[in-house]
Amino acid sequence: MTTYLLRGVRPLGADPVDLLLADGLIADVGPDLTADGTVPHGAVVVDGAGLVALPGLVDLHAHLREPGREDAETVASGTRAAAAGGFTAVHAMANTSPVADTAGVVEQVWRLGREAGWVDVHPVGAVTVGLAGERLAELGAMADSAARVRVFSDDGHCVSDAVLMRRALEYVKAFDGVIAQHAQEPRLTEGAQMHEGEVSSVLGLAGWPAVAEEAIIARDVLLAQHVGSRLHVCHVSTAGSVEILRWAKGRGVDVTAEVTPHHLLLTDELVRTYDPRYKVNPPLRSDADVQALRAGLADGTIDAVATDHAPHASEDKDCEWAAAAMGMTGLETALSAVVEAMVDTGLLDWAGVADRMSVRPARIGRLEHQGQPLSAGSPANLTLVDPVGRWQVDPAASASASRNTPFAGRTLHGRVVATFLRGRATVLDGELTGP
């Protein structure tokens, strides 16, 4: 296995050090590991001058589409995109076909991830059979499988039945699992096409009201408190949701939450183009919501950035708005979006970025080997970022099999230069390597 010496990198933006990666671990850390004039262990030297070192990014929420929609994405293509974006672990959502609601399917996805070798793939198990919201899937079997599932979600659908949600929250305590709720009151959002507000009124598109998200989150934090369970809230998108979460955390509820990069950066004004690239669920919201989400992420009310990477075949976006699929890709642009929304604005420093994009998501997913400190003995899962690098998003150059990025043509800040998964480079010099 190749040994790497990362020279002069800045861990979490701090003063430059050398990092030695050997045998899958961070073997040594020091201000100058070549002080005696030799490169240890014949290591390959990576010039890290000016680069920020972060623990490998961990995504709690990606749609890898396999099995079922391999035309949109496969585990292999999706995890290549993840590595290119600086990730070393990705949670794969359960809304595949067949649904990941049995030990067999989650083990298949887990094995596809191992074979691809770009990042650790952690399947998310469905809460209910077929995502139908009627009866619990065999959560214990998925937890006990080779995939060791700890995060369960009907993402794309809300577990709207209060009794079912209560039982799920209770049941997964037996194996330290967590229910990741897609908070969307179904009756309030029938046929919904975009955020309900000024823009929807003008465009004549059916509204997705903020209250449909907030009402479910309010109910769920109270349920979680009542049964003493752990709750995670997917893709929080409204200012009201942030307030409810802040209140719940203040009361000691064991709740965590994520926000997507696009909800930190884009607003419903973009829908005026009727371009379905901007169609996503939950929808892009108002600028006031964006500011509240940034503030919530900065103060820790929102624990994590999660991509909700949702690749779609071109024909599912090359149509009128109402007919288009919901979702946008995000694995390759997530870090840059966070840099623009949070770092450039002074809301988060690099330690904060590491916390929200690696440390806390790893903790929520109970991943022992991810999100660890950049110190000797830690697994060598890390990414190197050029903080002042600029790059223009070219959908055709994407590692993802799909092209539905909302950032096409946009110049983003912060560029991933290298990614290491257990000491092996998946990205080097800004290019994907072989797995």
Partner 1 sequence: MRHLLSAADLDRTAALRVLDTAEQMAATQQREIKKLPTLRGRTVVNLFFEDSTRTRISFEAAAKRLSADVINFSAKGSSVSKGESLKDTALTLEAMGADAVVVRHGASGGPHRLATSGWINGSVVNAGDGTHEHPTQALLDAFTMRHHLVGKREPGAAAGQDLAGVKVTIVGDVLHSRVARSNVLLLHTLGAEVTLVAPPTLLPVGVDTWPCATSYDLDSALEGADAVMMLRVQVERMNAAYFPSAREYSRRYGLDARRLRLMAEHAIVMHPGPMNRGLEISADAADSARSTIVEQVGNGVSVRMAVLYLLLAGSDDVDGGTA
Q: Which of 152, 111, 107, 148 is nearest to 131 (CA)?
A: 152
200 contacts partner 1 (rule: CB under 8 A): yes
- Identify the residue among 203, 215, 295, 347 touching partner 1 (CB under 8 A): 203
Backbone angles phi, psi at 267, to 5 degrees: -125, 170
274 contacts partner 1 (rule: CB under 8 A): yes
DSSP character at residue 235: S
Do you know the residue count of the chain? 435
Q: How many residues bind partner 1 (CB under 8 A)?
A: 24
- On the CB side of 368, CA atoms within 13 Å amount to 1
Stretch that binds partner 1, among 16-24, 103-111, 194-202, 390-398 (CB under 8 A): 194-202
197 contacts partner 1 (rule: CB under 8 A): yes
207 contacts partner 1 (rule: CB under 8 A): yes
- Cα separation, 365 vs 141, whole angstroms: 17
- Cα separation, 13 vs 416, whole angstroms: 14
Q: How far is the CB of 47 from partner 1 (least distance, A)?
A: 44
Backbone angles phi, psi at 253, to 5 degrees: -70, 140
Residue with tokens 């989150």: 217
DSSP bridge pairs for 90: 59, 121
DSSP bridge pairs for 343: none
**Which one, 195 or 294, has the nearer CB to partner 1?**
195
- Cα separation, 209 vs 214, whole angstroms: 9
Each residue of 167-191: b (16+ CB within 10 Å) or e?
bbbbbbeeeebbbbbbbbbeebbee
- Identify the residue among 320, 346, 409, 434 touching partner 1 (CB under 8 A): 320
**Which one, 232 or 279, has the nearer CB to partner 1?**
279
Q: Segment 227-266, which members bind partner 1 (CB under 8 A)?
A: none
132 contacts partner 1 (rule: CB under 8 A): no
Q: How far is CA 251 from CA 244, 248, 393, in A?
A: 11, 5, 42
395 contacts partner 1 (rule: CB under 8 A): no
Stretch that binds partner 1, among 93-101, 141-149, 320-328, 425-433 (CB under 8 A): 320-328
414 contacts partner 1 (rule: CB under 8 A): no
406 contacts partner 1 (rule: CB under 8 A): no
- Cα separation, 137 vs 98, whole angstroms: 13
268 contacts partner 1 (rule: CB under 8 A): no
Report, as residue numbers or ranges, the catalytic residues.
308
Q: How far is the CB of 206 from partner 1 (least distance, A)?
A: 8
308 contacts partner 1 (rule: CB under 8 A): no
175 contacts partner 1 (rule: CB under 8 A): no
205 contacts partner 1 (rule: CB under 8 A): yes
Looking at this protein, which amino acid is placed at residue 366?
A: R
**Which one, 9 or 325, has the nearer CB to partner 1?**
325
288 contacts partner 1 (rule: CB under 8 A): no
3-state helix, strand, coil in the chain (%, to 5): 35, 25, 45
- Identify the residue among 322, 376, 388, 397 touching partner 1 (CB under 8 A): 322
Q: How far is the CB of 231 from partner 1 (least distance, A)?
A: 29
**Which one, 205 or 218, has the nearer CB to partner 1?**
205
**Which one, 162 or 322, has the nearer CB to partner 1?**
322
Looking at this protein, which amino acid is placed at residue 172?
A: V
Q: How far is the CB of 329 from partner 1 (least distance, A)?
A: 20
- Cα separation, 301 vs 258, whole angstroms: 9
Q: Which residues bind partner 1 (CB under 8 A)?
A: 193, 196-207, 209, 273-275, 315, 318-323
